[in-house]
Chains A and B, each alone.
Chain A
Amino acid sequence: MSDHEYTPKSKFGKWFNDRLPLLSLASHLTDYPTPKNLNYWWTFGGILTFCLITQIVTGLTLAMHYIAHADMAFESVEHIMRDVNYGWLIRYIHANGASMFFLAVYIHIFRSLFYGSYKSPREIIWIIGIIIYLLMMAAAFMGYVLPWGQMSFWGATVITNLFSAIPLVGEGIVTWLWGGYSVDNPTLTRFFTLHYLIPFLILGLVVLHIWALHVPGNNNPVGIDIKKPSKDTVPFHPYIVIKDGFALLMFMIVFAFFVFYAPNILGHADNYIEANPLVTPAHIVPEWYLLPFYAILRSVPDKLLGVIAMLSAILILAVLPWLDTSKIRSAVFRPLYKQFYWILVADVLILGYVGAMPAEGLYLLIARVATAYYFLHFLVILPVLGFKEKTLPIPLSITDPVLGGAPNLATAKNKESLKH
Chain B
Amino acid sequence: MKNFLKIFFLILFLFGIPFKSHSAEKVEYLKTDWSFKGLFGKFDRSSLQRGYQVYTEVCASCHSMKYLSYRNLGEKGGPEFSEGQVKAIAASFEVKDGPNADGEMFLRPGKLSDKFVMPYENVKAAQAANGGAYPPDMSVLVKARGGGVDYIYSLLQGYEDAPNGMILDEGVHYNKYMYGKKIRMAAPLSEGLIEYGDGTEATIEQMSKDVTTFLMWAAEPHLESRHQMGFKAIMYLIILTILVYFSMKRIWSRVETEV
Contacts and interface: CB of A to CB of B under 8 A. Distances in A.
Interface of A: 36-37, 39-41, 75, 78-79, 81-82, 88-89, 92, 103, 107, 234, 238-239, 242-243, 245-247, 249-250, 252-254, 256-257, 259-261, 263-266, 269-270, 272-273, 282, 288, 349, 352-353, 356-357, 417, 420
B149 to A, nearest CB: 12
A96 B176 CA distance: 33
Given A40-B7, A353-B21, A78 B67 contact: yes
Contacts of B233: 256, 260
B7 A41 contact: yes
Interface stretch (B181-189, B204-212, B236-244): B236-244
A273 B144 contact: yes
Nearest to A279: B134
Contacts of B146: 269
Nearest to B252: A239
A240 to B, nearest CB: 10
B80 to A, nearest CB: 16
B227 interface: yes
Interface in B200-256: 219-222, 226-227, 229-231, 233-234, 237-238, 240-241, 244-245, 247-248, 251-252, 255
Contacts of B179: 282
Given A246-B244, A357-B21, A107 B257 contact: no
B17 A253 contact: no
A254 B4 contact: no
Contacts of A263: 226
Contacts of B6: 420
A272 B140 contact: yes
B144 A272 contact: yes
Contact of B241 (A234, A249, A260): A249
Question: What's the dominant secondary structure at chain B's contact region?
Answer: helix
Contacts of A238: 251
Question: 8 closest pairs, A vs B, by CB?
Answer: A260-B230, A272-B144, A356-B21, A249-B241, A272-B143, A40-B3, A78-B67, A242-B248
A409 to B, nearest CB: 11
Interface in B5-47: 6-8, 10-11, 14-15, 17-19, 21-22, 24, 39
Nearest to B13: A349
A253 B251 contact: no
Interface footprint category on B? 35 or more
A246 B230 contact: no
Interface string B163-190: 0000000000000000100000000000
A261 B237 contact: no
Question: What's the dominant secondary structure at chain A's contact region?
Answer: helix
18 contacts: A40-B3, A41-B3, A78-B140, A82-B221, A82-B222, A89-B226, A249-B241, A256-B233, A256-B234, A260-B226, A260-B227, A261-B39, A261-B227, A261-B230, A266-B15, A266-B18, A273-B136, A353-B21
A239 B229 contact: no
A83 to B, nearest CB: 9
A270 B238 CA distance: 34
Interface in B101-151: 136, 139-140, 143-146, 148
Contacts of A257: 230, 234
A40 B4 CA distance: 6
Nearest to B259: A243
A256 B4 contact: no
Contacts, number: 115
A352 B13 CA distance: 13
B230 A259 contact: yes
A89 B241 contact: no
A5 to B, nearest CB: 25
A79 B240 CA distance: 34
B135 to A, nearest CB: 13
A417 B21 contact: no
Contact of B234 (A260, A266, A420): A260
Contacts of B24: 357
A327 to B, nearest CB: 26
Contacts of A261: 39, 227, 230
Given A103-B11, A269-B145, A253 B234 contact: yes
Contacts of A75: 67
B238 A253 contact: yes
Contact of A243 (B10, B68, B248): B248
Nearest to B229: A260
A249 B6 CA distance: 16
Nearest to A263: B226
Given A246-B245, A254-B11, 20 more contacts: A40-B7, A41-B7, A78-B140, A82-B222, A88-B226, A89-B226, A92-B226, A234-B255, A239-B255, A245-B248, A247-B4, A249-B241, A249-B244, A256-B234, A257-B230, A269-B143, A269-B146, A272-B219, A282-B179, A349-B14
Contacts of A272: 140, 143-144, 219
A39 B6 CA distance: 12
Contacts of B14: 103, 349
Contacts of B139: 78
B128 to A, nearest CB: 16
A40 B234 CA distance: 21
A92 B244 CA distance: 27
Interface string B46-87: 000000000000000000000110001000000000000000
Contacts of A252: 237
Given A82-B221, A260-B226, A353-B21, A242 B143 contact: no
B114 to A, nearest CB: 14
Contacts of A256: 230, 233-234, 237
B7 A107 contact: yes
A242 B8 CA distance: 19
